[in-house]
Structure 1
Amino acid sequence: MNHSRKPAAGLPADLTIRAGRPWPMGATVTDEGVNIAVFSANATAIDLCLFDATGAETRLRLPARDGDVWHGFVPGLQAGARYGLRADGPYAPHEGHRFNVNKLLIDPYARSLDGEIVWDDALYGFTMDDPEGDLSFDTRDSAPFVPKCVVCAALPALEAVPPLTPARDSVIYEAHVRGLTMRHPEIPQDQRGTYAGVASDPVRAHLRRIGVTAVELLPVHAFLDDRFLVNRGLRNYWGYQTIGFFTPAARYGSGDPVAEFRAMVDALHRDGIEVILDVVYNHSGEGDEKGPTLSFRGLDNASYYHLSGTGRHYVNHTGTGNALNLTHPAVLRLVMDSLRYWTEVMGVDGFRFDLASELTRGRDGFATGFLDAIRQDPVLARVKLIAEPWDIGPGGYRLGQFPVPFMEWNDRFRDDVRRFWRGDAGTPAALAKRLLGSAEVFDHDGRSASSSVNFVACHDGFTLNDAVSYAGKHNEANGEQNRDGHHANFSDNLGSEGPTEDAGINAARAQRKRNMLATVFLSQGVPMLLAGDEMGHSQGGNNNAYAQDNETTWLDWPGDQGLTDFVARLTALRRAQPVLRQRGFLHSRIRPQDGLPDLEWHRADGRHPTEADWHDPNFRALCAVIRGSAESDEDTGAAEVYVCLNSGEATAVTLPDGPWLRALDTAAPDDEPAPEAEPQADIAARSVTLFTRP
């Protein structure tokens, strides 16, 4: 191996390295040079590899080690320098070690990356065509095919003040940087598909119009396009193959992605809109033992990953080939440092944790280390924390088991709402639970009704439009013979598969979309809207569009403007009615201030449903009086609403003593609020009606 200290062109002529210090992790710029600190418990040596503009490499061996942190200081090195790492050590896959000094490695703490992965057999620590498979050892240099880390200077604080919107007042908009902006006719061509496009005037105006308080972006941490996708002519659209937990994906920038991401955050903050990131700390893009050596595997495979058996193979509760080991202090530190960096430096307001159950797994079950660390961290005290509360491993479905202050994606809400409006028998009882924030799941240990993130569609699955247009999935474009994606979608085509010219079917689909959207926004909990659902976006029945970076997933602006107006009306109603967004749960308990129950269920005839009614397949009209919770100190005063969700035929509903305003009717979405005649009100078939006090 060449340890030459001869500097490559463009680097300081007197390039040297001395001990430096073991903190902070990664590359840190000072007035005198750059400090580098890297974790590895099992390496025997680590080299800092510097590259000039021509790609020429200079290797400097890190001269010092404190515990398991290797470090050095390079005088005269400046921000903008391009670098990578190489780690020497045992290549013993059966013992969990896969060191290969021939492979250039991405610094786990790199703040910026120059270039993308270029797929080549040299990226693998083993020789691809060797009969020994991953037990063989490959000597080819991978540097030409690996993006280079970029040394970044410290950044000033952002200008705009974070909105700090309370969870109960939040309306989350799940969006993709490219999907949201690629086809918007008012966004300049060079800004489409970028952070700047998200920050553009027309996108921000749309978000304000529909009442969004937070944009939840699909992964923007640097990620790779899987080799099998590239071979099919596809890309990793969703982004769940992270290779840099501190690095904004360069593909969403046009120049300096770090600056452009921060500018986007500032622009959204000025409009009172928070930024939440979908983060993937449960696995990396390196895959299983047949995957490439890009970073963690080459630095210390046995520490970074959950390994099975003797160590050759990987635990795969994520379905992606590997799982990061957050029970290891260095790996937990990496995740916590990343979260603090995106909060303090990049300005984000919250995190949605992909496959969050995996983050709590230890060698012998579930552990609390990650949860304990994140809950005690003062930097993260102000941000929103949202768990996707499952993985695919044993016992991995953990809805309701995350502690305060976590919110959780509630897939039961999605499924029960779809089933109710599809007309499935026996669903009113389940819908009643979802309408009240799923108290049977979340009402424990001081949690609030805001713990439930309610949605009927998200990036993973059918869009809202497709849930009412397709009885089955149509994922042929993914190249997996339609075997991929969810099989239980609880969808319905209402008489014709896919687009149709039938006016009756289209009217029924439009009505059902309004019904499901209304159910989301009239329920306790935090509503989440999939970008495009407010304008009728379709993915052609593809319920697993992870590789469709094209017009399948790019929103076709302006779409259905009538539906967009309807969503704006729903968010305005929710803002105006505090009883629709309470922290306290509703259990039909008596309120001390007026002796009234905080919740009353009614049948259409005004009587309270019996136990038999809840199980009656003909019980279709579910009505409720909702008041301020008896268990909360929130001041909702005398406010109350009466909501009717009718999945059956048209009926007359007996109203409680009035007066009432018909504030919303999904069967007449353009009608203005109007006084309601009493004591009975006519309710349309398969509709949602909301009555409020004048």
Structure 2
Amino acid sequence: MLPEELTAALAARLERAWPGDPFPLGAHWDGEGTNFAIWSTTATAAQVCLFDSGGAAAGQSGTEYRIDLDDRTYHVWHGYLPGVGPGQRYGFRLDGPYDPSRGLFHNPAKLLLDPYARAIEGEFVDHPAVYADSAEDSAPHVPRSVVIHSAFPWGDDRRPNVPWDDTVIYELHVRGFTKLHPDVPPELRGTYAGLAHPAAVDYLTSLGVTAVELMPVHQFVTEPAVQARGMRNYWGYNTAGFFAPHEAYSSRRGNQVREFKSMVRALHAAGIEVILDVVYNHTAEGEPNGPVLNFRGIDNGSYYRLDEHDPSKYVDYTGCGNTFDPRHPFPLQLITDSLRYWITEMHVDGFRFDLASALARSLHDVDKLSSFFDTIHQDPVISQAKLIAEPWDVGAGGYQVGEFPPLWTEWNGRYRDTVRSFWAHGTDGVRDLAYRLTGSSDLYGDDGRLPIASINYVTAHDGFTMRDLVSYERKHNEANGEANRDGTDDNRSFNGGTEGDPAPAEVVALRRRQARNLLSTLLLSTGAPMLVAGDERWRTQQGNNNAYVQDNEISWLDWTSSDSAEDLLALVRRLLTLRRDHPVLRQRAFFEGRPVEDECKDLAWFHPAGREMSDQDWFDTGLRSIGMYLDGRGLRHRGRRGELIIDDSFLLLLHAGDSDGEFRLPATPWAAEFETVIDTTCPGGAPPSSAPVPGGASLPVRARSVRLLRVQR
């Protein structure tokens, strides 16, 4: 085992690097030494800098040894250092022209993170020394890259390879999910090991989800403006290292890579896929006058999109100060190398790309034929992973829901907005809702994609929780320290008549029913549903719809048992069991309204009066009720014992009206009788035992409620 400290004898041997190799980029240990390689088209000199453990934390410089990298091949500075191995902390210093007017920010006083670092240690502390125009050494204030040993006993780890039509995504925050979990040992709470603990894994499997979508776990840092408010970045959308698991989520210092792999192995063993929320659209360096952490000091004009008229400025399609530029070969290579690394070395199953439209802009417009899409589609490894786009950015023309090419699924923002609006104030009728319930064929049916291209969601990390969506009509973000200016004002929410908590008992009852309605709509829609951790437990953020700096009980999952939590938890489990057992509730292909048997169609829409919907009905903006009939007789699947089963048929009734009403049920040939299997007027959605209702009868429906009826013939 190589020593962690740099001995004087070793330091003496490191006065000059061996030539080494230009590829692979980054730091790679071969058992006897480490090869270092960094790419820059504008640097005139490069050094690799080694630190002893005294420089492990920000604010401590430690002993630094600087070794020139004299060899340069294809714009790659490289060198091999014998005797340097795992655990070695390092960084780079690059010299070259400093001319901000031309977009050049080289300054050898800035210690730079390795863009390919597999591990990063320490925190970034805002200080004048970290900025490009300072001659002061930045090393005491920035993190270090770390050489790693990549070996890991994966054993018989197998990817679950869950088909998209069986997929149920659960978005969670690694720290927040287990930080308060009473059955996870205190020392593991809020870590990768905590998420791998049997108490956490058993909960996920009992819930019925098939994949966890982890909010950013790439190494990230806190923005200077947030540090100035005495806060920290909690969400993680401020990446500093595209290959390194976030150090703070490790239960032991220096164990983040191994612990992350152990977490993936444990989740895979339970049949749960791991999807990463990745932020390649911008970096933690922010605007041109932001800190110099890596890319700005390495090759600013290649890594970032510069204003073509004024190279001292950035083009900002992300709202975060800069836009990463995969139009250039090496930034694009860095992204694809990172994706392949997480798939092949870390065994993750897919990615959700934050602000994906920003990655696909060629000149200015989002382009389906961009080099980013071409490279992803042609890559034999990346193209086989689950690929999810957040199909928008903040630039003009950036809203691209429904426009990403095949292979991609999308966060369906149209689904979120339509379902929220229907259950909040219902002013748009049901025409758009019908598209959303059946997989959004208007968005995905014209280019060969399937309903599984639609990631259906009502809530996400960004915005109200489910409880807050039915409790607040205005954001309450004062705790973020931005005078409530941050966060969206377009919430499409309904508070039941009282803003926030506490509220009268009848308002609380209505809110719980509204939450059941929203969850039932989501989990009974065609497409791939995404739940947010805690929505099934009545979690609140106290009206904060942008809790990105709330690393506290506002964001952490509350595991305390309550009637409300047990209510929604039971409902979600019931719905996901139904969805798993009935393919008609998770169709892979779009419904066609075609005959199945007895003149019944695979999909039919019913007016509350009992007739099939007419053209006039579809354009009735005051209509707040609809029935969706799904015929499962054309679908055959294997039961738990391997027997061939013809699926059931269902009638889903959604009534968003403020008053109780009636729904006349379709009669023969649609059904002889109907059995209620989900009723959102009841806790847990569990209907009381009752006799089946005959077809053609008028069924009373409660104000703001959902019924799922099973057809009996």
* TM-score, normalisation: structure 1: 0.94
Q: Distance in 2 between matches of 1:409 and 1:10?
A: 56
Return the letter of the residue paired with 1:667: T
- Are 1:600 and 2:604 matched, yes or no? yes
Return the letter of the residue paired with 1:662: T
Question: How much does 1:650 deviate?
Answer: 2.5
- Are 1:542 and 2:544 matched, yes or no? yes
- Are 1:657 and 2:657 matched, yes or no? no
- Are 1:244 and 2:241 matched, yes or no? yes
Query: Which 10-residue stretch deviates more, 491-500 or 679-688?
Result: 679-688
Q: Distance in 2 between matches of 1:77 and 1:141?
A: 24
Q: Contact 2:461/2:532 (CA < 8 Å) preserved in 1?
A: yes
Question: How much does 1:342 deviate?
Answer: 0.7
Q: Distance in 2 between matches of 1:418 and 1:66?
A: 56
Q: SS of the residue aligned with 2:242?
A: strand
Return the letter of the residue paired with 1:406: W
Query: Which 10-residue stretch deviates more, 649-658 or 97-106?
Result: 649-658
C-alpha distance after superposition, 1:97-142 (max 9, x if no partner): 111111000000001112111221100011xxxxxxxxxxx21111
Q: Which residue of 2 aligns with 1:576?
A: 581
Counterpart pick for 1:142 among 115, 138, 142: 138
Question: How much does 1:12 deviate?
Answer: 4.9
Q: Which residue of 1 aligns with 2:57?
A: none
Q: Distance in 2 between matches of 1:193 and 1:167?
A: 29
Q: SS of the residue aligned with 1:125?
A: coil
Question: How much does 1:673 deviate?
Answer: 7.1
Alignment of 1:599-638 (within 5 A): 599-627=603-631, 637=646
Q: SS of the residue aligned with 1:690?
A: strand
Counterpart pick for 1:151 among 129, 137, 147: 147
Q: Distance in 1 between matches of 2:19 and 2:688?
A: 72
Counterpart pick for 1:469 among 468, 471, 474: 471
Question: How much does 1:423 deviate?
Answer: 3.2
Q: Which residue of 2 aligns with 1:279?
A: 278
Q: SS of the residue aligned with 2:317?
A: coil
Question: How much does 1:232 deviate?
Answer: 1.0
Cα distance change on mapping 1:569 and 1:674 into 2, 3 Å? farther
Question: How much does 1:594 deviate?
Answer: 7.4
Return the letter of the residue paired with 2:82: P
Q: Distance in 1 between matches of 2:181 and 2:400?
A: 39
Alignment of 1:331-342 (within 5 A): 331-342=331-342
Q: Distance in 1 between matches of 2:205 and 2:334?
A: 35
Question: How much does 1:88 deviate?
Answer: 0.7
Q: Contact 1:241/1:284 (CA < 8 Å) preserved in 2?
A: yes
- Are 1:75 and 2:73 matched, yes or no? no
Cα distance change on mapping 1:31 and 1:205 into 2, 3 Å? closer
Cα distance change on mapping 1:639 and 1:195 into 2, 3 Å? same
Cα distance change on mapping 1:306 and 1:618 into 2, 3 Å? closer
Q: Distance in 2 between matches of 1:123 and 1:463?
A: 37
Question: How much does 1:675 deviate?
Answer: 5.2
Cα distance change on mapping 1:394 and 1:286 into 2, 3 Å? same
Return the letter of the residue paired with 2:361: R
C-alpha distance after superposition, 1:443-466 (max 9, x if no partner): 122101000111110000011100
Q: Distance in 2 between matches of 1:361 and 1:10?
A: 52
Q: Which runs of 5+ in 2 are unaligned?
A: 1-5, 55-61, 639-643
Return the letter of the residue paired with 1:577: H
Q: Which residue of 1 aligns with 2:703?
A: 685
Q: Which residue of 2 aligns with 1:133?
A: none
Alignment of 1:65-104 (within 5 A): 65-104=72-111
Q: Which residue of 2 aligns with 1:445?
A: 447
Q: Contact 2:636/2:646 (CA < 8 Å) preserved in 1?
A: no
Q: Which residue of 2 aligns with 1:132?
A: none
- How many matched pairs? 676
Q: SS of the residue aligned with 1:366?
A: coil
- Are 1:671 and 2:684 matched, yes or no? no
Q: SS of the residue aligned with 1:414?
A: helix
Q: Which residue of 1 aligns with 2:317?
A: 317
Identity of aligned residues (%): 47
Alignment of 1:52-451 (within 5 A): 52-54=52-54, 55-126=62-133, 138-156=134-152, 158-159=154-155, 160-255=157-252, 256-308=255-307, 309-367=309-367, 368-451=370-453
Q: SS of the residue aligned with 1:505?
A: helix
Alignment of 1:508-587 (within 5 A): 508-559=510-561, 560-587=565-592
Q: Distance in 1 between matches of 2:413 and 2:689?
A: 32
Question: How much does 1:9 deviate?
Answer: 4.2
Cα distance change on mapping 1:171 and 1:638 into 2, 3 Å? closer
Query: Which 10-residue stretch deviates more, 364-373 or 513-522?
Result: 364-373
C-alpha distance after superposition, 1:196-216 (max 9, x if no partner): 111122211211121111110
Q: Which residue of 2 aligns with 1:640?
A: 649
* TM-score, normalisation: structure 2: 0.92
Question: How much does 1:556 deviate?
Answer: 1.0
Return the letter of the residue paired with 1:99: H
Q: Distance in 1 between matches of 2:286 and 2:677?
A: 52
Q: Distance in 2 between matches of 1:78 and 1:602?
A: 69
Q: SS of the residue aligned with 2:709?
A: strand
Q: Distance in 2 between matches of 1:525 and 1:445?
A: 16
Q: SS of the residue aligned with 1:365?
A: coil
C-alpha distance after superposition, 1:631-660 (max 9, x if no partner): 999998454221111112231321332343
Cα distance change on mapping 1:412 and 1:632 into 2, 3 Å? farther
Q: Contact 1:628/1:636 (CA < 8 Å) preserved in 2?
A: no
Return the letter of the residue paired with 1:226: E
Q: Which runs of 5+ in 1 are unaligned?
A: 1-6, 127-137
Question: How much does 1:70 deviate?
Answer: 1.5
Q: Contact 2:49/2:67 (CA < 8 Å) preserved in 1?
A: yes
Q: Please, what is the CA RMSD of the aligned residues?
A: 2.0
Q: Contact 2:353/2:389 (CA < 8 Å) preserved in 1?
A: yes
